[in-house]
Copies of this chain bind each other. A is one copy, B any other.
């Protein structure tokens, strides 16, 4: 069987704080005499991330280098360096349409598996912000616009079919997609060793494993993920892949990018906002403040979907090149498909973030374990409901009614 070659190129070496400084000096981004400060700030799963600062000139930059293995499970899970290409290519492609919503890529080096990009350390990871109860008034509009523009402009509705197929080929991403295929769509729905949940919720988990209707519906969603090359997706658009300030939104970490069903990016974002909503019960103790913040999160869901819909529709009407974009009803039925897919994918994400390999801090940092387990069971229920009822949940109001308590 042909698998991607896992040997790094012969010139590859993981950089350290000394060699990375030598490397960036050659790029002429900093002046020659600059006194550079450097720190490795990666969370260390898959990449080295160097933050390089020239304090005297108030300039800084990020160097992100792919490691040839996934640290999360030790060196035994080898990965190619190709993901640096996927990540930098996606950021460059997205910058054509939403330059304000992604960090600018300055340089890409294939043999070292690294790229150089804007420093966003003035921003906070959105997940940390939502755990702290911070509101981001532009977030929903930005993410809705982001998904609408990147997906529309890389879809058959806009691109010439030759150009679309060329891009599909360029973004065929077997390795990273395999991680999603396994960790989002498969392992959590079977008694698999990668799963991770407390014994206390095992009964609820087993109930999920024994739900044959659920598995059958997840099979359909997995098959859509595997086969439906609708548009260029970020592929991992959770709240840990978004950098924010109250004024600015930057989407990062698109190493999972590939051509897939548009609802997938939206569904992952929705799911992580919903996980934040659920966990607020533990994070914000004042009932009044909690209600306020949860109401902000619900508004974020509503506005993300409505911004997406509005922007996508505007692009479809004004810039659709595919002749069928002019046929009445086609936009509405396509948006209908995206919505149903998004609800289903959101369900999968809620479940895998609760019992799969990669959890969310929103739930896992809850100190009161009884409460944590109750909320995790609630998440499993919600995810299951979304997946099984996705064709009946016809709009965002209905989706929100499933968990919203006024």
Partner of A219, one of B2, B160, B324: B324
Chain A stretch 151-204: residues in CB contact (< 8 A) with chain B = 156, 160-166, 168-169, 172-175, 177-178, 181, 186, 190
Known contacts A227-B229, A330-B219; A174/B156 CB under 8 A: no
B156 A178 Cβ-Cβ under 8 A: no
Cβ–Cβ contact A223 & B334, under 8 A: yes
| A218 / chain B contacts, CB cutoff of 8 Å | 324
Q: Does A4 contact B (CB under 8 A)?
A: yes
Tell which of B166, B177, B323, B329 touches A165, judged by Cβ atoms closer than 8 Å.
B177
Chain B residues with CB below 8 A from A178, complex form: 161-162
Q: Which residues of B contact A212 (CB under 8 A)?
A: 327-329
A172 / chain B contacts, CB cutoff of 8 Å: 165, 168-169
Contacts of A405 in B (CB 8 A): none
Interface residues of A in 1-59 (CB under 8 A from B): 1-4
B contact residues around A164 at 8 Å (CB) = 226
Contact between B166 and A222, CB atoms less than 8 A apart: no
Contact A216–B162 (Cβ < 8 Å) = no
Distance, CA A212 to CA B324, complexed state (A): 11
Instruction: Report how many copies the assembly holds.
Output: 2
Check A230 for interface membership: any CB of B closer than 8 A.
yes
- The answer to the question of A250 belonging to the interface, with a C-beta cut-off of 8 Å to chain B, is no
Inter-chain contact B328/A216, CB cutoff 8 Å: yes
Do B165 and A174 touch across chains, with their CB atoms under 8 A apart?
A: yes
Instruction: Report A312 CB to chain B, min CB distance, Å.
Output: 15
Q: Is A302 an interface residue (CB 8 A)?
A: no
Contact A327 B219 (CB under 8 A): yes
> Is A220 positioned at the interface, with any CB of B under 8 Å from its CB?
yes
Complex alpha-carbon distance, A219 and B181, angstroms = 29
Point out the residues of chain B lying under 8 angstroms from A287, CB to CB.
none
Find the B residue at minimum CB distance from A216.
Answer: B329
CA distance A227 to B173 in the complex (A): 16
Q: Which residues of B contact A3 (CB under 8 A)?
A: 160, 162-163
Cα distance A156–B186 when bound, in Å? 14
CB A16 to nearest CB in B, in angstroms, measures 32
Taking beta carbons and an 8 Å cutoff, which residues of A are in contact with B? 1-4, 156, 160-166, 168-169, 172-175, 177-178, 181, 186, 190, 212-213, 215-216, 218-220, 222-223, 226-230, 323-324, 327-330, 333-334
Known: A162-B174, A220-B330. 13 other contacts (CB 8 A): A1-B163, A2-B166, A156-B226, A156-B227, A162-B178, A186-B324, A212-B329, A213-B329, A216-B333, A220-B333, A223-B334, A227-B229, A227-B230
